[in-house]
Amino acid sequence: MILHYLLNGFLTAGHWYNLSVIALSTVVGLWIGLIPGLGPIMAMAILFPFTFLMDPLAGLLMLASIHVAGTYGGSISAIMINVPGEPASAATTFDGYAMTRQGKVRVALGLSVTGSFIGAIFGSMALILAAQPLVSIALKFGPAEYFSLAMLGLCVVAVASRGATAKGLLMGCLGLAVSFIGTDEVLGYPRFTFGLVQLEAKIGVVPVLIGLFAISELMELMLRGGSISAGGSLSGSLFDGVKATFRYPMAILRGLGIGIFCGLVPGVGAVTANLLAYIVERRVAKDPDRFGQGAPEGVIAPEVSNNACIHAALIPTLALGIPHSAGSALVLVAVTIHGLRPGPMLFSGSGELVYGFFAGLLIGAAMFAIFGLLFTRWFSILTIVSTKLLAPILLVVGLVGAYAYNHSFLDIVYAIVFGLIGFAARRYRFPVIGLVMGIVLGPLAETSFHQALEISSGSYLIFVERPLSAGTLIVCALLLVGPTIWEALGNALWRQKAIASQPMKD
């Protein structure tokens, strides 16, 4: 039945008018996603009124295509200039940019486009085939589980910073501390604002990321000189990257799992999915020292994950009417405006429009992959341009991008402050990823912490009484103390063996 609907959907979405809408929106999304501070949500919001004048399916496809292509576009600048165009590409910078420094920018872009394509296709398939069973998982999550999940995210960061767990935890705490600045989301109480009204709004993720990545990289470039590609030359091709992606099937699977899961649980989001996929890859790697030095899995998993997340996020949006992000909220509004009612029945009724939309998502994934392969090879030239010329451009794009986020000079100040923090953190090997995770997960952690205590009338036992929450917290504890215990046990066994193997003395 689904296959029949889907084939009909392809026929509808394949109409030349819908195809041209998808193609044009994909190009817009790619370009907007490239520029830090702009992002696809802004483009979606601006173009939203146009959906009223369009055929319902074309309107929905326009919004979805911009969202999806914009998320992919963010990874292009993340790889080329270490500036995530979109927050959901933050983790892609770590190994993507390292590859660029080695002159392998095209290979990294090939890995990214293939990973993104796979994520988009399988995320869409999860939406089409398994929305209803998957949504039941999302319904099992309450405030206690959300809190445990946020803690898990932070613990994974700390543990993945091998040899620097304390530094990872410290940066996570700093991120949480930054997320407290502004009005308390639960009670509306202004905190750490020094009486300044401007500080009552929370510090946005975009200026923080621009600071941590763009401004700190600008400082590095100015000090280092040369070109981004350390050797001043390019090696490898996009298709080397495309082929290399398939050598890491487990990284793809892990990225998909994390992305779909993060998409299902409202409030978690593509930024977390991207960061978590990177951290998990680093954690499970046999040789984690390769990470940060241009490990292909460090690009593949985060890219698969954020794109799978964007698509899977449509499951709670369409099946429950719970939008997961600003982007899915806009899609939800467009769906309702065109007379559709989000809920389980959406998938069985309104077949032509809904499955036309699903088919359009699959076509959109193919389009951004094609455009990505066609256009990004030209961008790679930027990485062999002298940093003496590139640094001022990065300065302008970074600071104007920070301003664009909220039309506020305060965001420029945030970007500069976090640029300095990022510069020092990189120099002394404090994991910046912990800070980002803390800021991203802070509101979720605090809100769910208070909500859980409200439900339990102040009893902290709620976090251990609910099986899913307790299980997650046990995993957190194991992650933090497990390696130490494991190491101690190993040492004890080794000592015992050494004693046993010593020749007996008279």
Partner 1 sequence: MSDRTSRNGVGERIFAGAIGIIFAGQFLMALRYPSDPRLFPLIISAAGFLLTVALVLGLGLHDRHLGRPEPLPAGRLTLTLVVSPVYALGLWFLGYWVSTLIAIPLVAWLLGYRKRQTIAIVTLVVTVLLGVLFPLLDVPLPLGLLPRLVGF
Question: Which residues of this protein are in contact with partner 1, per CB under 8 A?
Answer: 32, 35, 38, 42-43, 46, 163-167, 169-170, 173-174, 176-177, 180, 184, 186-187, 189, 191-192, 215, 218-219, 222-223, 225, 289, 386-389, 391-393, 395-397, 399-400, 403-404, 407, 409, 412-413, 415-416, 419-420, 424-425, 427-430, 445-446, 449-450
The least CB distance from residue 218 to partner 1, in Å, is 7
Q: Which two tokens stand for residue 38?
A: 């702009």
111 or 473, CB closer to partner 1? 473
Vertex 146, ends 144 and 152: CA angle to 5°?
Answer: 105
In the bound state with partner 1, the residue whose beta carbon lies nearer, of 358 and 414, is 414
Helices (H), 196-343: 205-209, 216-224, 238-245, 249-264, 269-284, 297-312, 314-320, 326-337
- Residue 488: how many other CB atoms lie within 10 Å: 10
Task: State the first-to-last Cα distance of the chain, in angstroms, to the nearest integer.
Answer: 82
User: SS3 letters for 109-164?
Assistant: HHHHHHHHHHHHHHHHHHHHHHHHHHHHHHHCCCHHHHHHHHHHHHHHHHHHCCCC
Which residue number, 66 or 111, has a Cβ lying nearer to partner 1? 66
362/399 with CB nearer partner 1: 399
Q: Measured between alpha carbons, how far is 65 from 367 in angstroms, rounded to an integer?
A: 9
Cβ nearer to partner 1, comparing 310 with 445: 445
Residues 6+ apart with CB under 8 A from 300: 111, 114, 115, 245, 248, 251, 252, 255
Minimal distance, residue 393 CB to partner 1, in Å: 5
Return the number of the residue (313 or 444) whose C-beta is nearest partner 1: 444
Nearer to partner 1, 187 or 197 (CB): 187
Residues 6+ apart with CB under 8 A from 472: 145, 148, 149, 151, 152
CB 108 within 8 A of CB 96: yes
CB-count burial class (<10 Å; 0-12, 13-18, 19+) for 389:
exposed
Q: Write b or e for each residue in 312-329: b if 16 or more Cβ atoms lie within 10 A of its Cβ, otherwise e.
A: bbbbbbbbbebbbbebbe
316 secondary structure, DSSP code = H
Min separation Cβ 69 and partner 1, Å: 15
- Residues 414/211, Cβ–Cβ less than 8 Å: yes
Q: Which is nearer to partner 1, 336 or 484 (CB)?
A: 484
Shorter beta-carbon distance to partner 1: residue 192 or 239:
192
